[in-house]
Amino acid sequence: MPDDVTPAPQVTAPGVVGSSPGEVPAERVALTPAAAELLARLRVQYGELMFHQSGGCCDGSSPMCYPQGELITSEADVHLGDLVVADPFSELAEAELADVALTGPSGPLGVAGDDPPAGAAPGADLDGATFTVPFWMSRGQFEYWSHTHLTVDVVPGRGSGFSVEAPEGVRFIIRSRLFSDEE
């Protein structure tokens, strides 16, 4: 796996790669640092988040990010896993969070590096605080993508859906690769 991708623990549907009894599930979905940073900032504004990728008419095949519970999942969806995201804002007071800009020091896609993100308390210990973002996909879309590893990334531009990042002038995208024979 590339060094710039954060792995996520996975829950796989029956009959897919890694779901045989006693077999370790294959990792299905991961996150780039830029996408993780954006998720941390969006969580300040929207609360707990989730991804859903339907392949439907409104969003094409782009992953849509919603506040958790805004989109109801069912047996028609597959839970690919939970993305684990570092939470640099966990020690900030709510009043301070209201002033945190949704753009970092190097713009909306910038990774803050070793410095605390804009709005973080100086010297704040950011190690260890995380949150999870469940990633769901429609079962029909999953049938086509069951042989691929997905990486959530973010790029400039605006998607055509209802995803919470749209007002920021960026959009989440999926980068994919085929699973190896070992996976």
Whether residue 170 is contained in a domain is answered as yes
* In a domain? residue 183: no
Which pLDDT score is estimated for 70?
93
Please state the rounded mean pLDDT for residues 156-161: 79
Q: Which pair of structure tokens corresponds to residue 19?
A: 């779901």
pLDDT attached to residue 29: 93
Give the DSSP H or E segment for 65. strand 64-67
Boundaries of domain holding 90: 6-178
Mean of per-residue pLDDT scores for the chain: 73
Q: How many domains does the chain have?
A: 1
- 46 is a domain residue: yes
**Residue 157 covered by a domain:** yes
Question: What's phi and psi for 137, nearest 5 deg?
Answer: -140, 145
Dump pLDDT digits (tens) for 55-86: 766 555 689 999 999 999 999 999 999 999 99
Q: What is the pLDDT of residue 183?
A: 79
Which pair of structure tokens corresponds to residue 81? 């896993």
In-domain check, residue 1: no
82 occurs within a structural domain: yes
Beta strands 6-7 and 29-31 are antiparallel
pLDDT (tens digit per residue) in 103-158? 433 333 333 333 433 323 233 344 568 999 999 999 988 998 899 999 999 999 88
Quick one: pLDDT at residue 112? 32
